A and B are shown apart, each in its own frame.
Chain A
Amino acid sequence: MAKTALVVDDSTSMRQMVSMTLKGAGFQVIEGGNGQEGLDKLKGAPGSKVDLIITDLNMPIMDGLAFIRQVRAQSGSRFTPILMLTTESGDARKMEGKAAGATGWIVKPFHPDQILKVIDKVLPS
């Protein structure tokens, strides 16, 4: 059975790129345009089961850090791997992400092979 990934980014093109990469790797992908939409999609996911979350940091309505905190507060997604995909590369921001509950941090621009390698490391096979 295909694994499900949730991609949250306010940029349509970025969501498309990440989704394309994940679909190519056999994932079923659902998308959200900001943190709040991501939470809604997470609750409405098929079987409420999401195996992987990839989120941007800077987004309107609800940013990536708030989104991760909300996700971690839900019992069903407490241990779901969450990767931050952002242009931010400062150590302070990374520490904020880690404190919020992010599993990994990927700086844009990303190469599809790179993101798939990271996914292989964080996602139990």
Chain B
Amino acid sequence: MNLFIWSKHLKQTSDPIHEAIELRQQLADAKATVARQEEEIAELTEERAKWEDLAKSVTEHYKNSSSAATAAMESSANEKQQLQLHVASVADSLVGQIVTALSEAESAVSNAIETFSKIACDAEETAQSAMDVLGTGTASNVDGIADEAATVMGRFIEGMLLTTRQVGMSAKQIEILVSVSQKMAKLLDDVDGIARQTTLLSLNATIEAAHAGSAGSGFSVVAGEVRKLADRSRQTADRLRKLTDEVTTHSHAVCRDLGLAAENCLEESCQAQVMVNRMLDSVTHANSERQAAVEILGRKSEAISKDIYSIMVAFQFHDLLRQRLEHVADPLCTLRDTLNGQREYTASLDYAVGQNSFSACAVGTTPELEVVNYSADQDDNFILF
């Protein structure tokens, strides 16, 4: 190509010789240049061969490396999926345990509250009953009964004492009657003496009538009648004496019986009063002790109610704990759902890539081309391996 140019140029030269010399020189230069270029070409060819060898070597190495990288990324993807599966499983397990724990705790607290509620109700009812007993209930009735019994017993004792005094007065009246009877007996003695003197007088009259003879016969009859009256007076006095003796005897007996009855009555009354007082003291003491016990019971019941209220306050921390655990469980649920979603999505992409790879291979495209196109900036969700 250069010789043709130079030949054309030579024809156009006005000084052919000079031009021929120049052309020869130029030809020599051109030859030298050609020789130098041929050497350079040879060197470049040699260099190219070296680079081609190197390129082959690099290509081979790159192929090997890309295969290793592909295998590593496949392995990494598998490990990632396994890790996602494991974390999702752990999250699911934790959520399940939290939910179960919350449910069991709720149930336990609910049962405990129900039990404490029943205890509190019983305690309040007990306290109320105790207060009722202390207020208008049995305790005050017992006090009233004791007071009433003491009053009745006092009246009874007073009645017995009054009766005793009346018995004593009756005995004195009877003694007066005995004294009257004794006076009547003395009067009967006087009547008896009068009757004896009357009898003597009638005898004397009868004697004097006998001395008077027939003139004294009438007087003798009167004297006989007077003697009969004297006898009847004496007999009547004797009967009255016997009756007064009986009255005196019976009166003494009545006095004695009345005295004994009064003594017995007084003694029994005193003993009864002592016994009743002792019983009332016992009842009062027992009632006092019962009142004290009831008061203690009431106070303890109130204390139980307060304690249960405190327990209720403490149980409310269960609700706080529940809410905090729910705050833990909610992110875990989200994590679990996200991981499960990612895993399913990755699996679907794996399936799609598998299909595409099969098609690509079928038309002769090497899969390694995908490695060259891989960019580290790609989203993990879109990793094909």
Q: Tell whether A39 is near chain B: CB-to-CB under 8 Å.
A: no
Whether B110 contacts A16 by the Cβ 8 Å rule is yes
Whether B113 contacts A16 by the Cβ 8 Å rule is yes
Whether A14 contacts B117 by the Cβ 8 Å rule is no
Q: A11-B319, A87-B320, A87-B323 are in contact. Are A112 and B309 (CB under 8 A)?
A: yes
Q: A109-B313, A112-B312 are in contact. Are A13 and B320 (CB under 8 A)?
A: no
- Give CA–CA (A111, B323) in the complex, Å: 19
Q: A109-B316, A109-B320 are in contact. Are A24 and B120 (CB under 8 A)?
A: yes
Q: A20-B120, A111-B309 are in contact. Are A13 and B323 (CB under 8 A)?
A: no
B111: min CB distance to chain A, Å: 9
Query: Chain B: residues with CB nearer than 8 A to chain A?
Result: 106, 109-110, 113-114, 117, 120-121, 124, 309, 312-320, 322-323
Q: A13-B113, A17-B312 are in contact. Are A24 and B124 (CB under 8 A)?
A: yes
From A12, A110, A113, give the contact of B316 (CB < 8 A). A110
- Give CA–CA (A112, B305) in the complex, Å: 11
- Give CA–CA (A109, B320) in the complex, Å: 8
23 A-B pairs with C-beta separation under 8 A: A11-B106, A11-B319, A12-B110, A13-B109, A13-B110, A16-B110, A16-B113, A16-B117, A17-B312, A17-B316, A20-B113, A20-B120, A21-B312, A24-B121, A87-B323, A108-B316, A108-B320, A109-B313, A109-B317, A109-B319, A109-B320, A111-B313, A112-B309
Of residues 6 through 35 on chain A, the ones whose CB sits less than 8 Å from some CB of chain B are 11-14, 16-17, 20-21, 24
- Give CA–CA (A14, B323) in the complex, Å: 12
- Give CA–CA (A20, B109) in the complex, Å: 14
Whether B319 contacts A14 by the Cβ 8 Å rule is yes
- Give CA–CA (A87, B323) in the complex, Å: 9
- Name the CB-closest residue of B to A20: B117
> Which B residues touch A109, using CB under 8 A?
313-314, 316-317, 319-320
Query: Chain A: residues with CB nearer than 8 A to chain B?
Result: 11-14, 16-17, 20-21, 24, 58, 87, 108-113
Main secondary structure of the interface of A (DSSP, over half): helix
Whether A14 contacts B124 by the Cβ 8 Å rule is no
- Give CA–CA (A118, B117) in the complex, Å: 21
- Name the CB-closest residue of B to A56: B319
Give 18 new A-B contacts, CB below 8 A, not counting A13-B106, A13-B113, A24-B120.
Answer: A11-B106, A11-B319, A13-B109, A13-B110, A13-B318, A14-B316, A16-B117, A17-B312, A21-B312, A24-B121, A24-B124, A58-B323, A87-B323, A108-B319, A109-B314, A109-B319, A110-B313, A111-B313
- Give CA–CA (A16, B317) in the complex, Å: 14
A12: min CB distance to chain B, Å: 5
Whether B106 contacts A12 by the Cβ 8 Å rule is yes
A8: min CB distance to chain B, Å: 14
A22: min CB distance to chain B, Å: 12
> Which A residues touch B320, using CB under 8 A?
87, 108-109
B324: min CB distance to chain A, Å: 9
A110: min CB distance to chain B, Å: 7
B228: min CB distance to chain A, Å: 110
User: Which 6 residue pairs of A and B lie closest in terms of their CB atoms, listed nearest first?
Assistant: A109-B316, A13-B109, A20-B117, A16-B113, A112-B309, A13-B110
- Give CA–CA (A11, B320) in the complex, Å: 10
> Which B residues touch A11, using CB under 8 A?
106, 319, 322
- Give CA–CA (A121, B322) in the complex, Å: 31
- Name the CB-closest residue of A to B305: A24
